[in-house]
Structure 1
Amino acid sequence: MLKLSILDQSRVRRGMKARQALVETVSLAREADKLGFTRFWVSEHHDTPGLVGSAPEVLIAAIAAQTASIRVGSGGVLISHYSPYKIAETFRVLEGLYPGRIDLGIGRAPGGMPLASMALRYGKPANSEDRYLESLHDLGGFLGAGFPEDHRYHGLLTTPLVDTSPDVWLLGSTGHSARRAAELGARFSFAHFINGDGGQDVVRSYRENYRSGALGSEAQAGVCVMVVCAETDELAEQMALPLDVGLLLLEKLGSRTPFPTAEEAAAYKPDDFDRQRMADNRKRMIVGGPAKVKQRLLDFAADYGVDELMVTLALDSYEANLQACRLLAREFGLPGAAAFTG
């Protein structure tokens, strides 16, 4: 049976406060745990008022404290801004508190505009490719792989000295992070919700070239896709319109542009270029009623050759996102779906 997980970006919808977005993320995670989803990941963005998840480590702790069995993780921590040692110790604390439930997803993107990146680095130079690769190697050493005697960090302890480590995933929307994941032994998740083209070849190459390394010893691949699921195909299409227009405006106006309401999206008048971009963006999502979405997700997973999919939801209300989770859980027979009768 296909396993289902969730990536939540803690989106601030029009008219709501940032605090409410955080509350809704934790609440949705509690519901996902009850329904039987496999993982719940949170993202990292900076200088972006519409996405409030700027500190995934903190959200992970809050979510894990209020859930029982679902794995909780980052999608992902942006390693270019931080010390690998600090990341390792932070996630060892999380692993010590919630053993066997923590995923450390690592992203390579800046997660914001250049000014935010400069502030996060606080005077450090921007990461080169060599520095990125060095950071990944060091992260693996700090998490348990260790260092040779001539390494500058040989003998340094990564505390707390817990007896398990978080699973490490590299995240990416191109083949770059997949190659690094294969070289270093990490798990890999392809961001189809960002790039709807070519991901199948990227995942295939990851599997073909995988070898154990500093970041792990098990090849595991996943894919994340946007999903709009409602009671009927027609309702799902209506609910997808704000997402269609929102992604378009994000491209045209930048990351500080709020997603439109359903009324604003319906009033938007796209030109020919807009319609083409909206059609292209539909390759990044699956839209429909429960039966249609289930079949498309099964076909999608088979096309990628994976047994787990992560969905990201960006509907116009918390209730709509929760209903989508419930419909997916019921359609796929997740263990907690029997309690949902709506």
Structure 2
Amino acid sequence: MQNPVKLSVLDQSPVKSGLDAYSAISETLELAALCDNLGYHRYWVAEHHASDALAGCSPEVLLGRLGAETKDIRLGSGGIMLPHYSPYKVAENFRMLETMYPSRIDLGIGRAPGTDPFTAAAIRYGSTVGPEHFPNMVLDLQALLNDTEPVTPGLENAQAYPKVETPPELWMLGSSSDSSSLAALAGLPYNFAHFINPMIGPEIFENYRENFQAGPNCDSPHSVLTVFTICAETEKEALELSKSRDLWFIRLLRGNPGPFPSVQEAADYAYSAREIEVIEENRKKRAIGTPEQVCEKLESYAHDFELDELMILTITHSKSARTKSYELLYSNWN
């Protein structure tokens, strides 16, 4: 029996210690095909820049290849960091993807830079259009995808090509109440990054639902939560696999994350008492364990947040463990 709450995947294309970006992207291609065959609903890829840990810096390029590797699963960006770019060019890129893979393309957008200030400045290359313009950029992008008039003066006659029968599905991504409010105002489906900000509770979607105004492609609120997940045959194995991300997170807090370490590297690391506290607190906010334990936690999120879908983020140093996690979770969820 199918679970009414659909499962999807966010892939950040993690670079593992001892391996390179080529291996990370190759793994993304293989896992997208796997998730397509298993029956996952969506497969989204992320945008990060100047990162030794996360290889995906150009979702639109990667999506072009993912479409050729898959048949049915919806493909999308999780997400395009819109303040860096021209909404017109983003509309063109995703119309092109929609032309290639009709009715399968999602365009998730976010406000965060996804990098350090110096790299962000290099991407914008002198442009003074920054994050403060994000709300109007969202509305302009929405108009350019739907062949309606943008809100920014001077863009009234702009039309994006190629022409498509249905526009890509536009999504708002975020980790704060600001993003949920803008999603409601623009009439967009909303994906909240629980893996970034697990301290915010169901009120984030309550705000979204209460203030939602129907948009051109979304008549009613549509709520998705993205959760960090590792699923294994035993709880002990799942916790062991999670040690890789535990150490990476500690290094991230210290400002030098680097590639994702192996479980052995994590075992050899001398943690301080405070670092152990941080790790134990973080684990409470993740869904890690056996298929039954993970599904129980995800079901509680689905109930408490009143979700339409769940999206999972899984990172392990071992590709086979990551593959197994997707397989175990999907078969038990349904």
The interval holding the TM-score normalised by the smaller chain is over 0.9
Q: Which residue of 2 aligns with 1:115?
A: 118
Q: Distance in 2 between matches of 1:58 and 1:278?
A: 35
In the TM superposition, what is the alpha-carbon distance from 1:127 to its structure 2 partner?
A: 1.0
- Give the secondary-structure state (helix, strand or coil) at the position aligned to 2:106: strand
Q: Does 1:213 align with 2:228?
A: no
Q: Does 1:317 align with 2:318?
A: yes
Alignment of 1:149-160 (within 5 A): 151-160=153-162
Q: Distance in 1 between matches of 2:152 and 2:330?
A: 51
- Give the secondary-structure state (helix, strand or coil) at the position aligned to 1:162: coil
Q: Which residue of 2 aligns with 1:172?
A: 174
**TM-score with structure 2 setting the length:** 0.95
Residue type at the aligned position of 1:164: T
Q: Does 1:56 align with 2:49?
A: no
In the TM superposition, what is the alpha-carbon distance from 1:254 to its structure 2 partner?
A: 3.3
Q: Distance in 1 between matches of 2:150 and 2:245?
A: 50
Alignment of 1:173-322 (within 5 A): 173-213=175-215, 216-255=218-257, 257-322=258-323
Q: Does 1:4 align with 2:22?
A: no
Q: Deviations over 1:1-43 (max 9, x none)?
A: 1211000000110011211111110110000000000000000
Asked whether the equivalents of residues 88 and 144 of structure 2 are also in contact (C-alpha less than 8 Å), the reply is yes
Q: 5+ unaligned residues in a row in structure 1: which ranges?
A: 334-342
- Give the secondary-structure state (helix, strand or coil) at the position aligned to 2:202: helix
Residue type at the aligned position of 1:269: A
Q: Distance in 2 between matches of 1:216 and 1:64?
A: 24
In the TM superposition, what is the alpha-carbon distance from 1:251 to its structure 2 partner?
A: 1.1
In the TM superposition, what is the alpha-carbon distance from 1:308 to its structure 2 partner?
A: 1.1
In the TM superposition, what is the alpha-carbon distance from 1:145 to its structure 2 partner?
A: 5.4
Q: Which residue of 1 aligns with 2:137?
A: 135
In the TM superposition, what is the alpha-carbon distance from 1:304 to its structure 2 partner?
A: 1.0
Q: Distance in 2 between matches of 1:186 and 1:283?
A: 30
Q: Distance in 2 between matches of 1:145 and 1:220?
A: 23
Q: Distance in 1 between matches of 2:50 and 2:260?
A: 16
In the TM superposition, what is the alpha-carbon distance from 1:126 to its structure 2 partner?
A: 5.4
- Give the secondary-structure state (helix, strand or coil) at the position aligned to 2:40: coil
4+ long deviations beyond 6 Å: none
In the TM superposition, what is the alpha-carbon distance from 1:214 to its structure 2 partner?
A: 5.9
In the TM superposition, what is the alpha-carbon distance from 1:156 to its structure 2 partner?
A: 2.1
Q: Does 1:101 align with 2:85?
A: no
Q: Distance in 2 between matches of 1:16 and 1:236?
A: 22
Q: Deviations over 1:80-99 (max 9, x none)?
A: 10000000111011111111
The number of residues matched between the two structures is 331
In the TM superposition, what is the alpha-carbon distance from 1:151 to its structure 2 partner?
A: 4.4
Q: Distance in 1 between matches of 2:311 and 2:64?
A: 20
Q: Which residue of 1 aligns with 2:18?
A: 15
Q: Distance in 1 between matches of 2:161 and 2:284?
A: 44
Give aligned-pair identity as a percent: 39
- Give the secondary-structure state (helix, strand or coil) at the position aligned to 1:284: coil
- Give the secondary-structure state (helix, strand or coil) at the position aligned to 1:253: coil
Asked whether the equivalents of residues 241 and 262 of structure 1 are also in contact (C-alpha less than 8 Å), the reply is yes
Q: 1:206 to 1:161 in 2, by over 3 A?
A: same
Residue type at the aligned position of 1:88: A
Residue type at the aligned position of 1:273: R
Q: Distance in 2 between matches of 1:198 and 1:11?
A: 25
Aligned-residue CA RMSD in angstroms? 1.6
Q: Which residue of 2 aligns with 1:328?
A: 329
Q: Does 1:31 align with 2:34?
A: yes
Q: 1:148 to 1:171 in 2, by over 3 A?
A: closer
Asked whether the equivalents of residues 184 and 215 of structure 1 are also in contact (C-alpha less than 8 Å), the reply is no
Residue range with higher mean Cα deviation, 37-46 or 281-290: 281-290
Q: Deviations over 1:122-151 (max 9, x none)?
A: 01125142x111111111111115117994
In the TM superposition, what is the alpha-carbon distance from 1:217 to its structure 2 partner?
A: 3.4
**TM-score with structure 1 setting the length:** 0.93
Alignment of 1:57-72 (within 5 A): 57-72=60-75
Q: Which residue of 2 aligns with 1:337?
A: none
In the TM superposition, what is the alpha-carbon distance from 1:265 to its structure 2 partner?
A: 0.6
Residue type at the aligned position of 1:6: V
- Give the secondary-structure state (helix, strand or coil) at the position aligned to 2:184: helix
Residue type at the aligned position of 2:121: M
Q: Distance in 2 between matches of 1:169 and 1:280?
A: 30
Q: Which residue of 2 aligns with 1:340?
A: none
In the TM superposition, what is the alpha-carbon distance from 1:208 to its structure 2 partner?
A: 1.1
Residue type at the aligned position of 2:283: R
In the TM superposition, what is the alpha-carbon distance from 1:224 to its structure 2 partner?
A: 0.3
Q: Deviations over 1:70-113 (max 9, x none)?
A: 00000000001000000011101111111111000001110111
Q: Which residue of 2 aligns with 1:338?
A: none
Asked whether the equivalents of residues 188 and 222 of structure 1 are also in contact (C-alpha less than 8 Å), the reply is yes
- Give the secondary-structure state (helix, strand or coil) at the position aligned to 1:224: strand
Residue type at the aligned position of 2:329: L
Asked whether the equivalents of residues 173 and 199 of structure 1 are also in contact (C-alpha less than 8 Å), the reply is no
